[in-house]
Amino acid sequence: MDILKLIKKRCTTRIYLNKKIPHKIINKIIEAGVWGPSIHGFQPWKFIIVQNRKIINRFSKTILSKTQITETYANTLMTITARTIKNAGTIIAIYNSRNFTNFAHQFKKRNYTKISELSEVEAISAAIQNMLLTAETLRVGSCWTIVPLFYEQEINRILDTKDRLLAIVTLGFPAEKGRRTKRKPNNIVTKYIA
Ligand SMILES: Cc1cc2nc3c(=O)[nH]c(=O)nc-3n(C[C@H](O)[C@H](O)[C@H](O)COP(=O)(O)O)c2cc1C
């Protein structure tokens, strides 16, 4: 498929069929992620794939447990995210190993640390987009979520890791036709300098 067509076809899916995604498909999605670019080829990403219903429900419950203590806008986003996670049969917790930041640390320059951390986040974001697009080609619906970062400690305790959580991507065969959201036109977001 034409890549631009694919990019425009992908949209967030939040309701999934109760049908397990085979490891073969998940491995292809991960493969697409790791073929993304990264700073000096450091490949800072790590993935924990969870298909355990009890753990997925626990994540969803953890998110819902705090909705009462934040303001309305955040509450809505948390509720939607908790529902999406609960609905998914597969979630991928995406981590930053910080291997490049740890390497850059030896140079003892503050702006090195800032830029190295950003470069890891940018590389992992590119990996995530590769994964979402590949999922789309495999007819797997997805949702990129950041809300779980509010509960990083709880999630890391459950997943037994000390790495830095960057996102949770939910996956499932779609049970809804996702709605394409609008985009700002090019002339609003672009400036050409001749
Ligand atoms: C960095 C990032 C964080 C996001 N976090 C959440 C989230 O926490 N919860 C959620 O339900 N959706 C989340 N989304 C999904 C967006 O709401 C969604 O991509 C947006 O509404 C545009 O819709 P589309 O993906 O269908 O184009 C996130 C997307 C991105 C790129």
Domain of 98: which CATH number? 3.40.109.10
What rounded mean pLDDT belongs to the chain? 94
d(CA 23, CA 151): 27
**142: phi > 0 → left, psi -120 to 50 → alpha, else beta; which?**
beta
On whether residue 105 sits in a domain, the answer given is yes
On whether residue 52 sits in a domain, the answer given is yes
Tally of CB atoms within 10 A around 73 = 8
Nearest residue by C-alpha to atom 19 in ligand 1: 12
On whether residue 192 sits in a domain, the answer given is no
Q: Note the pLDDT tens digit of each residue in 142-185.
A: 999 999 999 999 999 999 999 999 999 999 999 998 888 999 99
Ligand 1 atom nearest residue 11's Cα: 26
How confident is the model at residue 73, as a pLDDT?
72
Mutate-to-test residue for ligand 1 from 84, 144, 165, 176, highest number of ligand atoms within 8 A of CB: 144
On whether residue 186 sits in a domain, the answer given is no
**Is the torsion defined by CA of 130, 132, 133, 136 positive or negative?**
positive
pLDDT exceeds 80 at position 109: no
Ligand 1 atom nearest residue 180's Cα: 26
**43 vs 74, which has greater pLDDT?**
43
Q: How many domains does the structure of the chain reveal?
A: 1
Mutate-to-test residue for ligand 1 from 146, 165, 168, 184, highest number of ligand atoms within 8 A of CB: 146
On whether residue 185 sits in a domain, the answer given is no
- Give distance in angstroms: CA of 149 to centre of ligand 1: 14
On whether residue 3 sits in a domain, the answer given is no
Domain that holds residue 60: 12-179
On whether residue 191 sits in a domain, the answer given is no
